[in-house]
């Protein structure tokens, strides 16, 4: 990080009591927020290794070895006909979270420690969008309401009194890969704050979404996603609803479709092949983002519950939330997430849980297309690999 960028970030962090629009005034700081996702995965993996070593010698530090118990699906009928584009998810009791798959290598293919311990959860049934919300759908919302997304709004000087005026430019965070291999410990090498990037120009002013109605909408902040949901008479899923749905009635599988990443050699999700971050070969059919529903659905008929774009959920993020639930010793019914957000890596950034992983997920770095794993993101920060889908009760 250059001295100048470091100063910008410090300026930004001084604004913690203010409405968050961190991404805008500071560019790279926003990238930090997003990328902590990845860095956190690596650190938490290392921490979990340490914890395991300690657990062997000190019973006080023992960690939970809870395993997956069978999913028990509700048999109640849907309350009515599914709204267009939605599917009834029956709800039921299941084991939530992720273990490190035993057959995978040490670097990127491990679940993250915040996905443990496995714990028992019950969710009521609900309708869920079959696909992520698309550009076409989001455009209808914008046309009907005149809604302006966070990334399109010019940051207000009163929200960022210490930011130089030239930094108060609307924009968002964009994956901007280098053209050569780089060390994976500096995410600034592949994320940039781009002026003019927003849902209509996902990679900045030189890009657009013409002819891309069927692609998932991206560059949406949390409030953009909830505004859309409200307009549609829906809401965002809780993290537990999202995971129950993603598992498709299966028990404790590493992937939304089962045990193998590529059953019979078939690509099941849009992820990253080649060399991360500089070379995406698109072996799975897509370099970068894909239209929705290009890969087989899971057993509930949901598309892209792994890969393509991350999805916002309504839960606040805490790495220890699963531990709290497990310690109750009972099945948690319809968990709504912790009361407040806490990410030790950035304690002052309010973050919601992201799920599903994206077209940038790779076994070389971040493997959160594994179904029980978790991501997180600061509320006002959209990126070009983050979207959402909605749910509805009746």
Q: Measured from the CB atom, is 242 or 286 closer to Ca ion?
A: 286
Given 3-state DSSP classes, what are the helix, strand and coil percentages for the chain, each rounded to the nearest 5? 25, 20, 55
Q: How far is the CB of 260 from Ca ion (least distance, A)?
A: 18
Q: Measured from the CB atom, is 130 or 376 closer to Cu ion?
A: 376
Q: Measured from the CB atom, is 44 or 270 closer to Ca ion?
A: 270
Whole-angstrom Cα distance, residue 173 to residue 29? 10
Decide if 313 contacts 235 (C-beta within 8 A).
no
Site residues (vs Cu ion, CB under 5 A): 357, 361, 366, 368
Number of C-beta neighbours around residue 103 at 10 A: 10
Q: Measured from the CB atom, is 151 or 361 closer to Cu ion?
A: 361
Q: How far is the CB of 289 from Ca ion (least distance, A)?
A: 9
**Pair of tokens at residue 232:** 């549609």
Calculate ∠ Cα 136-142-145, nearest 5°: 140
Span near Ca ion by CB under 5 A; candidates 20-28, 158-166, 192-200, 356-364: 356-364
CA atoms within 13 A on the CB side of 177: 16
Chosen residue from 239, 241, 243, 284 binding Ca ion by CB under 5 A: 284
Residue 276 binds Ca ion, judged by CB under 5 A: no
Q: Measured from the CB atom, is 192 or 270 closer to Cu ion?
A: 270
Residue 241 binds Ca ion, judged by CB under 5 A: no
Q: Measured from the CB atom, is 8 or 187 closer to Cu ion?
A: 187
Which one of Cu ion, Ca ion, none interacts with residue 357, CB within 5 to 8 A by kind? Cu ion
Q: How far is the CB of 46 from Cu ion (least distance, A)?
A: 17
Q: How far is the CB of 291 from Ca ion (least distance, A)?
A: 12
Q: How far is the CB of 167 from Cu ion (least distance, A)?
A: 29
With 0-12 / 13-18 / 19 or more C-beta atoms within 10 angstroms meaning exposed / middle / buried, residue 71 is middle
Orientation of helix 28-57 relative to helix 3-13, angle to 10°: 80
Which one of Cu ion, Ca ion, none interacts with residue 368, CB within 5 to 8 A by kind? Cu ion
Q: How far is the CB of 365 from Cu ion (least distance, A)?
A: 7
Q: How far is the CB of 280 from Ca ion (least distance, A)?
A: 6
Residue 286 binds Ca ion, judged by CB under 5 A: yes
Q: Measured from the CB atom, is 289 or 361 closer to Cu ion?
A: 361
Whole-angstrom Cα distance, residue 152 to residue 182? 31
Chosen residue from 270, 341, 358, 381 binding Ca ion by CB under 5 A: 270
Decide if 30 contacts 349 (C-beta within 8 A).
no
Q: DSSP class of residue 150? A: G
Decide if 20 contacts 378 (C-beta within 8 A).
yes
Q: What string marks each residue from 316 to 355 as x (binds Ca ion by CB under 5 A) or -?
A: ----------------------------------------
Which one of Ca ion, Cu ion, none interacts with residue 130, CB within 5 to 8 A by kind? none
Which one of Cu ion, Ca ion, none interacts with residue 361, CB within 5 to 8 A by kind? Cu ion
Q: How far is the CB of 142 from Cu ion (least distance, A)?
A: 28
**DSSP E strands, the chain:** 72-73, 86-89, 92-96, 119-123, 126-129, 171-175, 191-195, 274-275, 279-280, 310-316, 332-333, 351-355, 375-378, 386-387, 391-392
Whole-angstrom Cα distance, residue 314 to residue 387? 13
Residues that bind Ca ion (CB under 5 A): 270, 284, 286, 359
């Amino acid at each position: 990080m250059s001295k100048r960028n470091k100063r910008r970030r410090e300026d930004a962090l001084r604004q913690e009591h203010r409405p968050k629009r961190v991404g805008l005034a500071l560019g790279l700081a926003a990238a930090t927020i997003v990328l902590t996702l990845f860095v956190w995965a690596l650190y938490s993996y290392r921490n979990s290794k340490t914890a395991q070593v300690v657990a062997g010698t000190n019973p006080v530090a023992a960690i939970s070895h809870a395993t997956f118990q069978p999913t028990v699906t509700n048999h109640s009928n849907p309350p009515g006909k599914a709204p267009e584009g939605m599917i009834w998810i029956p709800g039921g009791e299941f084991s939530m979270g992720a273990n490190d798959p035993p057959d995978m290598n040490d670097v990127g293919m491990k679940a993250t420690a915040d996905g443990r311990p496995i714990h028992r959860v019950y969710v009521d049934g609900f309708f869920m969008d079959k696909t992520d919300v698309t550009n076409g759908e989001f455009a209808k919302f914008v046309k009907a309401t005149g809604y302006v997304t966070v990334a399109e709004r010019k940051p207000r000087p009163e929200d960022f009194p210490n930011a130089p005026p030239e930094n108060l430019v609307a924009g968002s965070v964009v994956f901007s890969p280098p053209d050569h291999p780089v060390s994976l410990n500096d995410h600034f090498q592949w994320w940039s704050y781009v002026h003019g990037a927003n849902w209509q120009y996902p990679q900045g002013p030189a890009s657009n979404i013409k002819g891309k109605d069927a692609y998932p909408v991206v560059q949406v902040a949390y409030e953009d996603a909830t505004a859309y949901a409200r307009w549609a008479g829906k809401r965002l899923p809780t993290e537990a609803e999202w995971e129950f749905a993603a598992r498709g009635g299966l028990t404790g599988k590493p992937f939304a479709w089962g045990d193998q990443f590529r059953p019979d050699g078939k690509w099941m999700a849009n992820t990253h092949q080649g060399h991360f971050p500089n070379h995406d070969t698109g072996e799975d059919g897509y370099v970068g983002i894909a239209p929705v529903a290009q890969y087989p659905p899971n057993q509930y008929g949901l598309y892209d519950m792994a890969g393509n774009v991350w999805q916002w959920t309504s839960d606040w993020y805490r790495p220890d939330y699963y531990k709290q639930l497990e310690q109750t010793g009972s099945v948690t019914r319809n968990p709504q997430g912790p009361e407040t957000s806490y990410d030790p890596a950035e304690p002052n950034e309010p973050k919601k849980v992201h799920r599903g992983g994206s077209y940038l997920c790779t076994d070389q770095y971040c493997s959160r297309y594994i179904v029980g794993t978790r991501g997180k993101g600061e509320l006002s920060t959209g990126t070009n690999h983050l979207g959402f889908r909605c749910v509805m009760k009746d």
